[in-house]
């Protein structure tokens, strides 16, 4: 899979790229590239944003600047891009990211992530270039960079080989194996600490009973 991130702050992703599961995914041949719209702006002095028409606070990322960045990366008319790949604008009001969307995106050969800053994008960026608008929650962050990392994290760990054990992603929270519910509780050694005992069944070695116990607890957490 190839992910292209359009961001004014590519250096913020250095830490993210160093995380083990991300590094694993890259070692397996998956790719993450960055395009900084400031490097492609047709405007003087590296300008990328402007004040909103109609007044109001904040700055808006310009449509001509985003077009130049998309052209620099892909060539051709960026209006055509979304016919071939998901072009995802990150914005607080978009489709909420969940496990099903992460699964869907993990099946794509290529995605582009557009990170807004300040008050976001000129609406024409969304209207004419984006195939999707995705939100990581109903709150406003200073920009789309953290949401892009959250989305990449959720998607990359779905790719085979990104996690240490092939099974780790299968029985995870919200996976079909857990009927879409949250994950069951985990325990490790010591089996008793300050009198707090690990549920006996997990020490029993009865795999089928353990499986049922976990599913039950996942369901119970889902109801809570
Ligand atoms: N940009 C700013 N806030 C955001 C959010 N909650 N989700 C996605 N992109 C954003």
Q: What DSSP string describes 90-135? A: EEEEEEEP-HHHHHHHHT-SEEEEEE-BTT-B-HHHHHHT-SEEEE
Of the candidates 129, 125, 87, 122, which has an alpha carbon nearest to the alpha carbon of residue 108? 87
Of the candidates 154, 158, 167, 173, which has an alpha carbon nearest to the alpha carbon of residue 222? 173
Is domain 2-156 classified as CATH 3.40.1280.10? yes
For 49-102, write each residue's pLDDT tens digit.
999 999 999 999 999 999 999 999 999 999 999 999 999 999 999 999 999 999
For 146-174, write each residue's pLDDT tens digit.
999 999 999 999 998 777 655 566 677 77
Which two three-digit tokens encode residue 2?
Answer: 């190839």
Q: Please state whether the predicted TM-score (pTM) of the whole model is above 0.85.
A: yes
The pLDDT value recorded for residue 65 is 98
For 179-200, write each residue's pLDDT tens digit.
888 889 999 999 999 999 999 9
Give me ligand 1 centre to Cα 138, in Å: 8
Tell me whether the CATH fold assigned to 2-156 matches the one assigned to 170-223: no
Residue 106, pLDDT > 80, answer yes
CB half-sphere exposure, 34, CA atoms < 13 A: 18
CA 15 – CA 193 distance, rounded (Å): 35
Which two three-digit tokens encode residue 50?
Answer: 């402007």
The pLDDT value recorded for residue 135 is 97
Q: What is the rounded average pLDDT of the residues 3-24?
A: 96
Give me ligand 1 centre to Cα 15, in Å: 20
Domain ranges of the chain: 2-156, 170-223
- Ligand 1, CB cutoff 6 Å, lining residues: 90-92, 116, 135-137, 139-141, 143-144, 147
Instruction: Write down the CATH number for the domain with range 170-223.
Output: 1.10.1270.20
Mutation pick for ligand 1 pocket among 121, 137, 138, 148 (CB with most ligand atoms within 8 Å): 137
């Amino acid at each position: 899979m190839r992910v292209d991130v359009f961001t004014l702050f590519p250096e913020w992703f250095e830490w993210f790229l160093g995380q083990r599961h991300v590094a694993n995914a890259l070692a397996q041949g998956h790719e993450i590239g960055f395009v900084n719209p400031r490097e492609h702006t047709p405007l003087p002095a590296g300008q990328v944003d402007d004040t909103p028409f109609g007044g109001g606070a904040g700055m808006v990322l310009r449509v001509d600047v985003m077009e130049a960045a998309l052209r620099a990366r892909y060539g051709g008319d960026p209006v055509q891009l979304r016919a071939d790949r998901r072009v995802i604008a990150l914005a607080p009001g978009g489709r909420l990211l969940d496990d099903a969307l992460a699964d869907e995106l993990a099946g794509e050969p290529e995605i582009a992530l557009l990170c807004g800053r300040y008050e976001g994008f000129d609406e024409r960026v969304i209207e004419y270039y984006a195939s999707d608008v995705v939100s990581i929650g109903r709150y406003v962050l200073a920009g789309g960079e953290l949401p892009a990392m959250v989305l990449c994290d959720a998607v990359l760990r779905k790719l085979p080989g990104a996690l240490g054990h092939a099974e780790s992603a299968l029985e995870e929270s919200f996976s079909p194996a857990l009927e879409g519910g949250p994950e069951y509780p985990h325990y490790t050694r010591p089996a008793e600490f300050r009198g707090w005992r690990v549920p006996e069944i997990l020490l029993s070695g009865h795999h089928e009973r353990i499986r049922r116990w976990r599913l039950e607890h996942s369901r119970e957490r889902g109801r809570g």
